[in-house]
Amino acid sequence: MNVHEYQAKEIFGRHGIHVLEGRVVRTAAEARQAAAALGGPVVVKAQVHTGGRGKAGGIKLASGPEEAEAKATDILKLSIKGFPVRKLLVTPAVEIEHEYYVGAILDREDGLPLMMVSGEGGIDIEEVAAKTPEKIHKLHFDPDHGLRAFQARELAHKIEPNGRQALGIATLLVKLSKAFLAAGASLAEINPLVRCADGTFLALDAKLNLDDSEVALRKDLEALRDPDGSGGHTDKAREFGLSYIPLEGDIGCVVNGAGLAMATMDLVKHFGGDPANFLDIGGSSSPAKVVAALEILTADKHVRVILFNIFGGITRCDHVAEGIVAALEQTHIELPIVVRLTGTNEGRGREILEESGAAIFAGTMEEAVQKAVALAAGTEVKG
């Protein structure tokens, strides 16, 4: 789960990292007030769950309240990579002496958290990493304790020649690693970390990605979720434990398991179709989950056919069949439904569906996908 810059800064600040006092606003008028309260020039920043805000025009400098209001008006009209801008962060503008990059990430290959730092921070850090990888310094750290003070100093001395300033960076790195661990994060990043004219260090931007599994176990993290951050469909999906990502196509897919769901979408494309979504109903299915999945898909007006591809393991085919029947009883679904059911309780599942006469059967994944593609293209298909 992504959290906004202002939320990340609040969390980093709680761990003793120096962040600028800022105001979160939702309207241009509020942006004006915020700029007036802060005084001096300010920066108005779009709060959306995506990167590349600067290049998209989502971050603007304003000399004072009036300009802040004007810039806020512009930014609130934007939609950045599909995310409409609904919140802004207004912070004082600062004089920057130097920009660093610091970031903690969970390194899945080595199974340990990793701290990465560079003396050349800013928006071009990925280019620095690609062209001059020797300018990025990395060190794994302990998942219980965070970066040790000596490790932090080793990294800091590599990116800052001045001894006293390096110690300042080292202190910050320890705090960042602790914030990362405390949030059970998958990423905690400050880019740029800036050194101000007075020698202090400041997190000018902040990025925090949380581990969804951690969020599911902790109310304090769940409270950080932005209800505006995504469409209503994914909220409903989350409520029922479904993993759902809407796409542009017309074949609504309901699959159990992320790998099989991706393979099903690949196969839809392979046979010339266009998937309307990624939807994984997960392991332990229940009829209610299937009903919810059908409700989400039928709400998408692009969808012309619904394709079930179920290979039962923990998921029981009879539960899926019951869910389809229940959904059809509750709401009138006009769309054709192609169903492939194999695995646990497969026989019982088929029976239930056959009794209801609601679905077009397919014996294999290939057959099911081909039938769905044909139906979406308007071709007649026999059940």
Partner 1 sequence: MSILIDENTKVVVQGITGHDGSFHTRGMREYGTQVVAGVTPGKGGLDLEGVPVFNTVAEAVRETGANASVIYVRAPFAPDAIREAAHAGIELVVAISEGIPALEMARVLREVTPLGTRVVGPNSPGLISPGKCKIGIMPGAIHAPGKIGVVSRSGTLTYEMVWQLSQHGLGQSTCIGIGGDPIIGTCFLDVLRLFKDDPDTEGVVLIGEIGGSAEEEAAAYISQEMRKPAIGFIAGRTAPPGKRMGHAGAIISQGRGTADEKVRALEAAGIAVARVPAEVGPLMKQALGAA
Q: Which residues are catalytic?
A: 101, 189
How far apart, in Å, are the Cα atoms of 217 and each of 211, 212, 258, 369, 380?
Answer: 10, 9, 21, 37, 48
Size of the site for partner 1 (CB under 8 A): 83
How far apart, in Å, are the Cα atoms of 358 and each of 222, 301, 336, 352?
Answer: 39, 21, 9, 10
Q: Does 129 bind partner 1 (CB under 8 A)?
A: yes
Q: In the set 284, 329, 354, 383, which binds partner 1 (CB under 8 A)?
A: 284
Closest approach, Cβ 81 to partner 1, in A, equals: 9
Of 224-283, binders to partner 1 (CB under 8 A) are: 245, 247, 255-260, 262-263, 265-270, 275, 278, 283
Q: Which stretch binds partner 1 (CB under 8 A): 67-75, 91-99, 140-148, 319-327?
A: 140-148
C-alpha to C-alpha distance for 86 and 26, rounded to whole angstroms: 6
Closest approach, Cβ 183 to partner 1, in A, equals: 10
C-alpha to C-alpha distance for 324 and 209, rounded to whole angstroms: 35
H-helix segments, the chain:
5-14, 28-38, 65-76, 125-131, 149-159, 163-182, 212-217, 219-222, 232-239, 258-270, 287-299, 317-330, 346-356, 365-376
Which residue's CB is nearer to partner 1, number 35 or number 308?
A: 308
Is the bond into 192 cis (omega within 30 degrees of 0)?
yes
Closest approach, Cβ 267 to partner 1, in A, equals: 6
Q: In the set 84, 314, 355, 383, which binds partner 1 (CB under 8 A)?
A: 314
- Site pattern 145..184 for partner 1 (x: CB under 8 A): ---xxxx-xx--x-----xx-xx--x----------x--x
Is residue 118 within 8 A of residue 135, CB to CB? The reply is yes
Of 189-218, binders to partner 1 (CB under 8 A) are: 189, 191, 207, 209, 211, 213-214, 216-217
Closest approach, Cβ 254 to partner 1, in A, equals: 12
